[in-house]
A and B are shown apart, each in its own frame.
Chain A
Amino acid sequence: MRTVIPDQLKVQLRYPARAVGLAGAAAMVASVFLPWSYGHEALDDVGFTGLPSPLQFVFLILPIAILALLGIPLVGKAKLGRWAKIVAWNTTAKTASLGALATVVVALAAIAIELGGLVNIETGGWLALVGAILAAAATVFLPDSPEPTLSRVKSPRWLQITAIVVVMAIVLFGSAYALGMDDAGAFLTLAALLVGIILTLRQFGVFGWLGIASANNNRVLVMSAFVVAFAFPFTQNGSNANMSIAAQVLIFAATALGLNIVVGLVGLLDLGYIAFLGAGAFTAAVLSDSAFATINFHPPFIVTVLIAGTVSSLLGLMIGAPTLRVSGDYLAIVTLAFGEIFRISMLNLDGSDGPNITHGSAGIPGIPDLNLFGFDFGQAHIIAGIEIGRFANYFWLMLLVMALIILVFTNINHSRIGRGWVAIREDEMAAEAMGVNTFALKLLAFAGGAFLAGIAGAIKAHHDVSVTPEQYVFLESAFLLAAVVLGGMGTVSGVLIGAVILKVLPEKLRFFSDYRLLLFGLLMILMMRFRPEGIIADERRQLEFHDDDEELADEIEEELITHHAHLNPERKGFEL
């Protein structure tokens, strides 16, 4: 963040500014022990004296961080030793203060809206606001610190692994806590707070360090992420509300990951991707034991899922083989048209306009729960004293599918095929002139992505109980694309984050659900303009979108070389 305040002024004001900042942070700390609102209804109860709510406890992180960041340098540069340079003390304090200010503003606005007016804000709330304004105003006047070098600090392996595990545990309990909130104001406040904390940590250099730590311990990272995801149902105490959202998020994320192969890795814009999910779902539905199934062949699900994937990928071949030879723009439109063809066909295969396969707009209801090897997905189970319900079963199954998709995604990406895809994205003609079979590689991505979507669709059919054509419209394709764009084209973690944001926010913020498409449209425009590489950037994608940024190119090269020094090549990717 750059300010227009002259450096000289900053140097002159550094002591008073620091004092004001410390006072502001202290005021914020004090405020959590005072009630923020009259009554106990707002923000999951912030009305107690002396007893902060869980939300307020989390909020405490920011003022305490500001106290530390502003206070510790007072002991003097000499005593700090190398830490003086490792941490960007002042800029981090500024980020933390601005984050705290944003959080307090959201919290007070939420109180005012929920309880009907600013009069409902109590002393604590005002004190927090004053403190946050003081801290923010003061830290803006502090001289900027140099870039933090924490990421270059060498650390023992056990510390890195512990850090990864701790982060994962925080993610688990944090997401369980966040999903458990049903108060929109509290949820938004927490969201603001989390963004503030994350930005502060980033400014502190934690992410750079964690990035290297996780690159060094890739397997630990992936394993612990899966363990955390696996453990998630146990935090829900048998409640189905959140598990249903979680299972939906995974289906959505798995489909988005499949789309990410096509869009993110090969750079082909597929606007009818939802049709492949739909093809899988309809295939599974007509082959299921539903009373409305139209085909009198009911194989076990293992077979069904393969048929579903195959049907989807055959459709992918049918649409891709003729059109992948023409330019990418045309492909986008053709896939869009294909999505419409699919939807209209599903509507028309109702017995009057065509053979009866789908029952038209009514679709196929009553699809029974899955039963794999005698395990009934509709049945709740008690594990370790906690009830694991229907949605948790599907959640775990989707987790497996997700693991499969990530495996496919990462391992192909780190092979000659993946290199061929990048080459196609960079310069298709040169790739062809170097012997790369560009057409086959594009077709592979297209049909492969469709196969994965077909699998996800087959599970979705059983999870949703019914399949109708209106679930598979263009807006859903746009929505999937938004997840890929928001999260980061070509990355796994980015798309997971994008999918979670796009699915969870509308669930938690009901008042916002009517505006969700409007905001997503706007989001896509803004992302393309300001951060086309997404939240989590794939390095190469980032370079492609910022073609003339030489500094970025140098930075990324340096990163590549450091990472390479830690990694031996075969450690990229995962093994079965």
Chain B
Amino acid sequence: MNERPEVSREVLLDARNVTMQFGGLRAVNDVSLQVHTGEIVGLIGPNGAGKTTFFNCLTGLYQPTSGAVEFAGQALPPKPRLVVRAGMARTFQNIRLFHNMTAIENVMVGMYSRTKTNAIDAILRLPRHRREEEESTQRAKDLLEFVGLTGSGDSLSRNLPYGDQRRLEIARALATDPQLLLLDEPTAGMNPQETRQAEELIFKIRDLGLAVLVIEHDMRFIFNLCDRVACLVRGAVLVEGPPAVVQNDPRVIEAYIGMPANDVAAKPTAATEEDADA
């Protein structure tokens, strides 16, 4: 187990009683969750439990039917790009890089909301614009190095190996200069070695002072990584607490083992999550 540094317990993200209703289906039901600065929080749950829908509610993609989300003491703005400006960035379950752009360009798109060049600056190539471009390029390179993609800057992101694409997506999210990073299944499809690297990377991100909220299926990964874990089942929080507690909670074990894939109740929700990504 990793040594966890003492962190100040300031509430960064405060979601209260978030409910998301699609027609007759309640995909997220009265979920409350807090994330503190410098904390890694895990969100687990069987397929279709509403994890990604909850993410979408946090990042402005969906407007929750009821409930409130506050970020750093402010009510969360209703648009994804404003959420990014407020300091929350995400990755996607099914990687959504700009796949015909190079790695470095992908990262630089992430800096959009933190840069200021306007059309006139760009057309006239004013010193301000050039300085900013240089700084952006340098920072993008640094970020690529940080996630372990040194030397891949000019590769088209579609040509990168799968694991590198996941890391590039993290670098792109970091480029938005977030206080809280939301990772949607960052190790899906990875081999054990890549998973271990991802874990190290997330610790490194935490050590920068960022809070991280992770959705994962890989139990060992999440219990090793997180300070706190919430288990979501059928849209509602079943248990929340330190990994050791959640891990041994009989209800969690039942939710996973006692809920085979052909369970009827899980099915309609699964469809919604796919819709959320479409």
Contact = CB atoms under 8 A, between A and B. Distances in A.
Given A434-B109, A564-B154, A412 B119 contact: yes
Given A407-B123, A415-B122, A560-B102, A436 B156 contact: no
A561 B151 CA distance: 11
B44 to A, nearest CB: 23
B89 interface: yes
Interface string A401-442: 000000110011011111110110011011111111110000
Contacts of B134: 569-570
Nearest to A420: B112
A411 B124 CA distance: 8
Interface string A432-470: 111111100000100010000000000000000000000
Nearest to A438: B81
A432 B80 CA distance: 6
Contacts of A414: 122
A60 interface: no
A435 B133 contact: no
Contact of A430 (B96, B102, B156): B96
B111 interface: yes
Contacts of A554: 159
Nearest to B86: A435
B100 interface: yes
Contacts of B137: 569
Interface in B36-52: none
B125 interface: yes
B61 A433 contact: yes
Contacts of A426: 98-101
B130 interface: yes
Contacts of B204: none
Contact of A553 (B59, B81, B113, B159): B159
B213 interface: no
Contacts, number: 130
A423 B101 contact: yes
Interface string B70-108: 000000000111001100011010001111111001001
B176 interface: yes
Nearest to A556: B156
B206 interface: no
A570 B92 contact: no
B135 to A, nearest CB: 11
A540 B106 CA distance: 13
B98 A561 contact: no
Contact of A434 (B112, B115, B119, B158): B112
A491 to B, nearest CB: 15
A436 B90 contact: no
Contacts of B84: 433-435
B129 A422 contact: no
A415 B133 contact: yes
Contacts of B21: none
A542 to B, nearest CB: 9
A543 interface: yes
B96 A576 contact: no
Contact of A436 (B97, B105, B112): B112
B109 A432 contact: no
Contact of B113 (A435, A560, A570): A435
A329 interface: no
B110 interface: yes
Given A422-B101, A426-B101, A431-B109, A415 B156 contact: no
A434 B110 contact: yes
Using C-beta atoms within 8 Å of the partner chain, give the interface range for chain B: 35 or more
B228 interface: no
Nearest to A448: B119
A434 B173 CA distance: 7
Contacts of A407: 123
B155 interface: yes
B171 to A, nearest CB: 11
A180 interface: no
A573 interface: yes
Nearest to A560: B154
Contact of B90 (A433, A448, A575): A433
A575 B125 contact: yes
Contact of B115 (A412, A416, A423, A573): A416
B59 A433 contact: yes
Contacts of A544: 100
Contacts of B111: 416
A435 B176 contact: yes
Contact of A416 (B117, B124, B172): B117
Contacts of B121: 415
A414 B117 CA distance: 12
A414 B176 CA distance: 20
A496 B119 CA distance: 23
Contacts of A574: 125
A557 interface: yes
A436 B113 CA distance: 6
Interface in B18-63: 59, 61
Contacts of A432: 79-81
A575 B127 CA distance: 11
Contact of B117 (A417, A437, A553, A570): A417
A76 B271 CA distance: 68
A412 to B, nearest CB: 5
Contact of A435 (B112, B122, B158): B112
B136 interface: yes
Contact of B85 (A430, A431, A433, A435): A435
B154 A417 contact: no
Given A412-B119, A430-B96, A540-B100, A420 B109 contact: yes
B88 to A, nearest CB: 10
A40 B207 CA distance: 87
A560 B125 CA distance: 23
Contact of B125 (A423, A540, A576): A576
A307 B181 CA distance: 47
A570 B133 CA distance: 8
A427 B133 contact: no
A262 to B, nearest CB: 14
Given A415-B129, A569-B137, A436 B98 contact: no
Given A416-B136, A435-B114, 16 more contacts: A416-B117, A419-B108, A420-B112, A430-B98, A433-B59, A433-B61, A434-B84, A434-B110, A435-B80, A435-B110, A436-B112, A448-B119, A540-B101, A543-B158, A553-B158, A569-B134
19 contacts: A408-B123, A412-B119, A415-B117, A415-B129, A416-B115, A418-B122, A419-B108, A422-B105, A426-B98, A427-B98, A429-B80, A433-B80, A434-B81, A435-B112, A436-B112, A437-B113, A438-B81, A560-B156, A576-B125
Interface of A: 407-408, 411-412, 414-420, 422-423, 426-427, 429-438, 444, 448, 540, 543-544, 553-554, 556-557, 560-561, 564, 569-570, 573-576
Top 7 A-B residue pairs of the complex, sorted by shortest distance between their CB atoms:
A435-B113, A435-B84, A415-B122, A426-B98, A430-B96, A543-B100, A433-B80
